[in-house]
Amino acid sequence: MNIFFKVIIFSLLTMGIYTLFATNYIPPMNSAPVPAEETIDLAQMTIQQFIALGDKIFHGKGTCTLCHNPVVKRAPLLDGVAGRIGERLKDTRYKGGAKDLAGYIEESMRKPSAYVVAGYGVTGSNDTVSPMPVISEGAIGLNDVEIKAVIAYLQNLGGAEVTVEIPKGPPMAEGKDSAQAATLPAKTGAEIVKKFGCGLCHKIAGEQGAIGPDLTKIGAKKNADYLRRAVFDPNADIAPGFPPGMMPQDFKDKMTAGELQVIVDYLAKSK
């Protein structure tokens, strides 16, 4: 057989074996969906449902079991935390300010190095620095409600009384986003003005709002950076003569990046 074809067949066969091995002979890794925020109605929730929510977050979005699990033991198991709380708070190595179990658990999530269980610290830190990430920030980024739910779950897990109160107020913010995500993004400055109701307060795009500053010639006075900041963080710069806190703070969450870009361009060109 021609050398060329021999080499081709050999190479394809090698790749085929690797592919076959990866697809059939190792356990299939399920396609992991993007973790979504829970949409819950706190007003209707019982404490048992709140604990169940904490359970779900603990084993899901919070990724707590990557380390706190009995197989790999990368971090201490948490089922007995309620029983250990007394000695923990009295321990000389404890650097936090918690007074009770709920406070201690919350502190562990927000300031993991406040107390590091012996043998679980970062190498070389003599158990003064925890390798655990801050749960309320970064890639995990649990919000306040989710953190409370996890506390309730851990209190319940340890057989302690669940002292956490279900937070009052609106449901989790992401719930609104998912509803909004179904609507198509606006494509022009005028569409965005209409969609987000800018004209209710501002004079802009034919609208005659008088609560906020006139934006019809704002591009002649302010550059794109300023305008972007004004949408992102309305209280960063307050126009003279207008009280702070009037403009909604959540346009940065409501608008898509494309919409933000379009409205900034639109305003910058309004001269």
Region from 96-104, 165-173, 202-210, 263-271 binding other proteins, contact rule CB under 8 A: 263-271
Residues 131-170 that bind other proteins (CB under 8 A): 131-133, 137-141
**Min. distance of Cβ 222 from other proteins in angstroms?**
6
Residue given tokens 């749960």 in the structure block:
135
**Min. distance of Cβ 235 from other proteins in angstroms?**
14
CB 60 within 8 A of CB 78: no
Contact map string, positions 85 to 114, toward other proteins, x by CB under 8 A: ------------------------------
**Min. distance of Cβ 147 from other proteins in angstroms?**
16
**Min. distance of Cβ 267 from other proteins in angstroms?**
9
Under rule CB under 8 A, residue 23 binds other proteins: yes
Cα–Cα distance, 126 to 119 (Å, whole number): 8
- Residue 190: both structure tokens together: 């005028």
Region from 43-51, 165-173, 206-214, 258-266 binding other proteins, contact rule CB under 8 A: 258-266
**Min. distance of Cβ 26 from other proteins in angstroms?**
5
- The string over 200-213, giving b where at least 16 C-beta atoms fall within 10 Å of a residue's C-beta and e elsewhere, is ebbbbbebebeebb
Under rule CB under 8 A, residue 268 binds other proteins: yes
**Min. distance of Cβ 93 from other proteins in angstroms?**
17
Among 48, 128, 249, 261, the residue binding other proteins under the rule CB under 8 A is 261
- The string over 238-257, giving b where at least 16 C-beta atoms fall within 10 Å of a residue's C-beta and e elsewhere, is eeeeeeeeebeeebeeebee
- Residue 208: both structure tokens together: 């005659």
Taking Cα atoms as reference points, which of 138, 133, 178 lies closest to residue 37? 178
Element (H, E) at 208: strand 207-208
Among 19, 48, 163, 249, the residue binding other proteins under the rule CB under 8 A is 19
Helices 189-196 and 257-268, packing angle to 10 deg: 110
- Residue 114: both structure tokens together: 């406040």
Task: Report the DSSP pairing between strands 207-208 and 203-204.
Answer: antiparallel
CB 208 within 8 A of CB 202: no
Among 47, 72, 211, 246, the residue binding other proteins under the rule CB under 8 A is 72
Under rule CB under 8 A, residue 243 binds other proteins: no
Distance of CA 98 to the CA centre of its chain: 25
Cα–Cα distance, 18 to 97 (Å, whole number): 55
Where on the chain is the footprint of other proteins (CB under 8 A)? 3-4, 6-8, 10-12, 14-16, 18-19, 21-23, 26-35, 63, 66-67, 71-72, 74, 119, 123, 131-133, 137-141, 177, 181, 184-185, 220-229, 232, 237, 252-253, 256-258, 260-261, 264-265, 268
